[in-house]
Amino acid sequence: MTPLQRIREDPSEVRATLEARGFDAPLDRIIELDRVARELKTKKETLQAERNKASRGGPPSEDVKRRMREVGDQIRTIDTELAEIETELNARRGRTGRSARHSASSTSRAGRSFQARASTCSAAPAPPSSAGSSPG
């Protein structure tokens, strides 16, 4: 069970546990953000299903094209709102967002690749496996 699921299922117990340990977490705000995020995800899935259904069949009419542009705009708006909510939710849960983690990395991708190659080259070669061979 994830911490968010635990908060969702039993907020009073989580709140009591945190208070006993001296933490003052904004559980009400976390629960609210989670609720809004779940609603937005459901709405996005419904819009995507509508868009997928409209894409089946023959060429779309002008009305369908107009509606699909509206649906696309709504999906983009939801994606923006979800990103903002998830950023705040992660911050309130004590985590950094994906972009912060990647930008804080002190080693570049090329540097990590070089380090990985260097570590594999400096290791002693493994002895040949004798599995499958019988003494003869």
Residue 67 has pLDDT above 80, yes or no: yes
**Which of 88-92, 97-101, 120-124 reaches the highest mean pLDDT?**
88-92
Percent of the chain with pLDDT over 70: 69
- 5-9, 10-14, 98-102, 118-122: range with lowest mean pLDDT: 98-102
Provide the pLDDT for residue 58. Answer: 83
Read off the pLDDT of residues 10-46 as tens digits, 9 standing for 90 and up: 999 999 998 999 988 888 999 999 999 999 999 999 9
Buried b (16+ CB within 10 A) or exposed e, 52-73: eeeeeeeeeeeeeeeebeebee
pLDDT band at 119 (very low <50, low <70, confident <90, very high): very low
Provide the pLDDT for residue 128. Answer: 53
